[in-house]
Amino acid sequence: MARSKKEPEKVEKTGQTYVEPLETVLHSSMLPYAEFVILDRALPRVEDGLKPVQRRILYTMNEMGLTPDKPHKKSARIVGDCMGKYHPHGDSSVYDAMVRMAQDFNMGKTLVNGHGNFGSVDGDPAAAMRYTEARLEPLALELLRDIDKETVPFSLNFDDSLKEPDILPGRFPNLLVNGASGIAVGLATNIPTHNLEEVINGVVAYIDNPAISLSEMMKYIPSPDFPTGGIIIANELIQAYKTGRGKITLRAKITAEETESGKTNLIITELPYQVNKAQLMRKIAEMREEKKDELA
């Protein structure tokens, strides 16, 4: 006896509301949303190592002529131009992204040269955008160079009135130099920063030998290089480079200093990446008050 086929569920119209099966809605709505978040918001492109908001900020500043040899301009002007032309989202998200590209304790190499209070390693926030000023760093020009020579594809902006680059030309591997972090739908990334000179040497070695092994490449790029220093405990480093998954353990760099009274002071000269110095000092003070001998 032939099996009867299940009748497809019909779409019912109730007033202005359309009732559809959940699996249909998920297939037609969730996938495009996930694709948008992955490609157009949360994760950087491999080619230039930038998220869309970062790329649009740098392109806006380049269009404004904010090269390193020109005076700084108000951050509010830059944010306004970027929002109005290319990035129609909240001004705080644009400003926060620009501030981060100017912080030498967050970036391997800064791409924005900030003038004013752009935050600190103590966790202090940047001043309001109406007070601070910015321009491009020299290294940012290497991401933008030859952009007007049809080196990269362009697409229409959100209202089809202007064109913006899909990627920047990128004359150095910014994804490795400055790292990246982001959480999308079902995907996430967290790439550490690396030393610019070591990365360039690695690129040259790869050009000379495209079949270069991981062990040979690690002679040129031995480990990440964080802007705040620290000591890397390389227990999973090779596995992380090999598979793209792994954990990097960082410790502060500490030296012991004898005082005239015979006591020993521990001097912290380098902090692990993204450790808040003010919170660390507060925690040390609390432990001292509790008379704890072990600091680990």
40-77 pLDDT per residue, tens: 778 899 999 999 999 999 999 999 999 999 999 999 99
pLDDT tens per residue, range 139-168 = 999 999 999 999 999 999 999 999 999 999
Burial class (CB in 10 A: 0-12, 13-18, 19+), 91: middle
Residue 246 lies in a domain: yes
Range scoring the smallest mean pLDDT among 126-140, 188-202, 232-246: 232-246
Written as six digits, the tokens of 94 are: 């644009």
Same domain flag for 190 and 165: no
Tell me, yes or no, whether 10 lies in a domain. Answer: no
Residues 79 and 137 in one domain: yes
Average pLDDT, the chain: 90
Q: Provide the domain limits for residue 259.
A: 253-289
Boundary of a domain, candidates 173, 200, 217: 173
Domain presence at residue 115: yes
- My answer on whether 193 and 156 are in the same domain is no
User: Residues 230, 264: one domain?
Assistant: no
- Statement to judge: residues 221 and 246 lie in one domain: yes
| pLDDT category of residue 11 using cuts at 50, 70 and 90 | low
108 and 183 both lie in a single domain: no
Q: Could you say which of 158, 173, 188 is where a domain stops?
A: 173
**268: which DSSP letter?**
E
| Same domain flag for 89 and 128 | yes
Q: Is the pLDDT of residue 1 over 50?
A: no
Catalytic residue among 18, 86, 95, 131, which?
A: 131
Average pLDDT value for residue range 98-121:
97
Are residues 68 and 84 both part of a single domain?
yes
* Residue 4 resides in a domain: no
Q: What CATH number corresponds to the domain at position 97?
A: 3.90.199.10
Residue 201 lies in a domain: yes
pTM of the model: 0.85
Q: Write out the E strands in the chain.
A: 12-14, 17-19, 73-74, 112-115, 133-136, 154-156, 163-165, 180-183, 188-191, 231-233, 249-251, 253-258, 264-270
**Together in a domain, 243 and 265:** no
Does residue 2 lie in a domain region? Answer: no
The pLDDT of residue 29 is 78
Domain-located, residue 31: no
Domain stop point among 173, 188, 219: 173
Is residue 264, in this structure, part of any structural domain at all?
yes
Query: Are residues 78 and 57 both part of a single domain?
Result: yes
Residue 206 bears catalytic tag: no
On whether both 77 and 131 belong to a single domain, the answer is yes
Q: What are phi and psi of 253, to 5 degrees?
A: -95, 120
66 in the same domain as 161 = yes
- 191, 180 Cβ separation under 8 angstroms: yes
Q: What distance in Å separates the CA atoms of residue 2 and residue 274, rounded to the nearest whole number?
A: 65
**Domains: count for the chain:** 3
